[in-house]
Chains A and B, each alone.
Chain A
């Protein structure tokens, strides 16, 4: 029991550490990537003992600034809710990571096999959606508790946006659940390791390409980043966090990045085989053209983890690229896209999946 507890604490600590650092690094990535897109150099001034390291310390400078700034609560705002809101945002985006498997099972002699997943939940998919939905409460509460018309509008926009996009998001996932027959993310990843016809990995992108497109679009909307940054809409309504300063503002910022990472890990897990590498099994690589390369367990775990990280980072890169390329939607256009575009596509996808699976005899 103690052993299990210690492993879990270590795993949880590792995940939180990795995710928070990645989110912190995102501020740097955002600066540098947008600079590359826009023919600029990007932030490179912050230095520690003369070392600038391409401006990587700007994240630290940001954090210092945020922590030392005055925390202003506007007169007339609801103090409790105003304070609680940013914590909601960060908390619910962080807990999602508990359910995400980031590597295969690690075998250490004398110990129980360790699944590289903080919490092995049977209905992990449901859990993740529940947490993602709760995350929006942070935004809504921030908008409503600030006693500011702009913040209020941001909160309203967030509410409408989240509700409409969660539907499409959920239905897109149903296709995946149908194909793999489970809601356990660990299982879904395992089953994506199977091969179709002996050579094509059974990744979600292969079996559910439409669901992938719907999922990514809707998930981008969940992250509240451009082109779906309506709750923020800095040039229109400044945003739901207009009355926040200091680290409370920083936490909304952090939650934004965390959500981006959540979505990247989810897309990886559901559609890109999670930690799987094509043709890699627990005892080594088995290529369809006959090569066999045996590998040890530690190498297997390491490769799995690296594969997961690489895919996640690639998604983060793509999301960032989208964010700096597209302009913002308008409120009604966003609703149109959600309800008249993504929602029907997702429903049709479920129906078509069901028909194909029945025809192929996989169901009843």
Chain B
């Protein structure tokens, strides 16, 4: 960063003696349509060719890692939403699994499947955004809107599960917030049908479009060796031909039980990255469909004969008056955002470790053990206390290996949290990929990096 060349001013000097040419220094961004407002590239141009590119990052630094040291382990969850904000659920899962590894606990099988399902849906939304935005910046605005339409269907699924579209905060250390809604497979099927239609249309508009393939092929090339030495992972690495996928190579959750392919490219150019992403979306849908089929059934909900649904607020009132019996056997209805988190659901979505996971609302209101348990977890200075130690846990983010390194000194909040954001490594290789290409190639190359400021700058 300290090597930023000093901008030269253009002078109107005329060289009458002959053809003396000079390089032009072009400052691209952060206020530039393709730079997302948070990247600055100082490019030295020979005509349209990029001779040098100096990439500057850091415009979206918000101190995620420091904030993660200030709050308790579950309190970090909303911050992880804002790392890669196009696929927040994968960040949730990654962080939770890192802390769970440190605590040495496992989550129920159904919860594992749920995490896989939401991760894969997020992966599709991420790839859709990446491919769509690249296409838009190349001038194919229509494809972008088609893909955003498909993403909308998927975000509706996410909303059904988590109650939010973007800031999901869905996972908890030791489980997830709530179970999948009833008959989740049905809307899932519909959304995937729409997504597949959009992918097919986009495929026709892009893959079979000579202009698009010419723009993508042969630009932003990086070899497998270079990619590995830069530490690049994910679709970007796989496009070079190196077959590495965290889901396959160090499987977590239930990925080892699911059947899916990892597409790899050959040349490591923008076209291969595009094709890898397109195929990964298909594979992700396949994974979700398998997971929905294989996952253990959820709980039998309240028996209408014996139990009844009571609004949570009413339950609180009854509990305040000490009328516990009035709602024993009932189940709390706590509004849509807490749907699926009741006592009946808890065994299938959360660990039974009481030192980690909040008790069901029925218990917190209905018995002293539950109440104390709740207090012990939410009160300042109490909460989850992992043993001393450090863990690193990688998951396959949409951009590549997303790793969380957590150090605990036994306190209720982490001593240190370090994120390994996948697009940081790719961004460091950007200069290498841009040099020698034309300025117009910067657009698809930068697009295929899928730079997400939230996780890059943290």
User: Chain B residues near A39 (CB, 8 Å)?
Assistant: 145-146, 149
User: Chain A residues near B215 (CB, 8 Å)?
Assistant: 327-330, 333
Whose C-beta in chain B lies nearest to the C-beta of A233? B440
For the complex, give the distance between the alpha carbons of A329 and B441 in Å: 11
| Closest Cβ–Cβ distance, residue A156 to chain B (whole Å) | 8
| Closest Cβ–Cβ distance, residue A241 to chain B (whole Å) | 14
A279 CB–B CB distance under 8 Å: no
A222 CB–B CB distance under 8 Å: no
User: Chain A residues near B141 (CB, 8 Å)?
Assistant: 34, 38, 324
Q: Contact check, A325 vs B439: say whether CB atoms are below 8 A apart.
A: no
For the complex, give the distance between the alpha carbons of A37 and B145 in Å: 10
- Contact among B10, B32, B211 with A238 in the assembled complex (CB-CB below 8 Å): B32
- Contact among B27, B33, B136, B440 with A330 in the assembled complex (CB-CB below 8 Å): B440
Q: Contact check, B211 vs A327: say whether CB atoms are below 8 A apart.
A: yes
For window 174-232 of A, CB contacts with B under 8 Å fall at 226-227, 229-230
For window 133-158 of A, CB contacts with B under 8 Å fall at 147, 149-150, 153
Known pairs A149-B24, A234-B33, A235-B33; A37 contacts B142 (CB<8 A): yes
B261 CB–A CB distance under 8 Å: no
Known pairs A34-B141, A38-B146; A326 contacts B209 (CB<8 A): yes
Whose C-beta in chain A lies nearest to the C-beta of B139? A328
For window 35-65 of A, CB contacts with B under 8 Å fall at 37-40
- Contact among A238, A324, A332, A333 with B142 in the assembled complex (CB-CB below 8 Å): A324
Question: How many of chain A's residues have a CB under 8 angstroms from any CB in B?
Answer: 29
For the complex, give the distance between the alpha carbons of A303 and B211 in Å: 40
User: Chain A residues near B27 (CB, 8 Å)?
Assistant: 149
Judged by DSSP, the binding face of A is: loop
For the complex, give the distance between the alpha carbons of A331 and B219 in Å: 14
User: Chain A residues near B32 (CB, 8 Å)?
Assistant: 238
User: Chain A residues near B13 (CB, 8 Å)?
Assistant: none
For the complex, give the distance between the alpha carbons of A329 and B443 in Å: 12
Q: Contact check, A326 vs B139: say whether CB atoms are below 8 A apart.
A: yes
- Contact among A38, A147, A327 with B139 in the assembled complex (CB-CB below 8 Å): A327
Q: Contact check, A236 vs B34: say whether CB atoms are below 8 A apart.
A: yes
Contact flags B98-114 to A (C-beta < 8 A → 1, else 0): 00000000000000000
- Interface residues of A, Cβ cutoff 8 Å to B: 34, 37-40, 147, 149-150, 153, 226-227, 229-230, 233-238, 324-333
Contact sample, A vs B, 23 pairs, CB 8 Å cutoff:
A34-B142, A147-B10, A149-B25, A234-B33, A235-B33, A235-B139, A236-B439, A236-B440, A238-B33, A324-B142, A325-B140, A325-B142, A326-B140, A326-B209, A327-B135, A327-B138, A327-B212, A328-B138, A329-B214, A329-B215, A330-B215, A330-B438, A331-B48
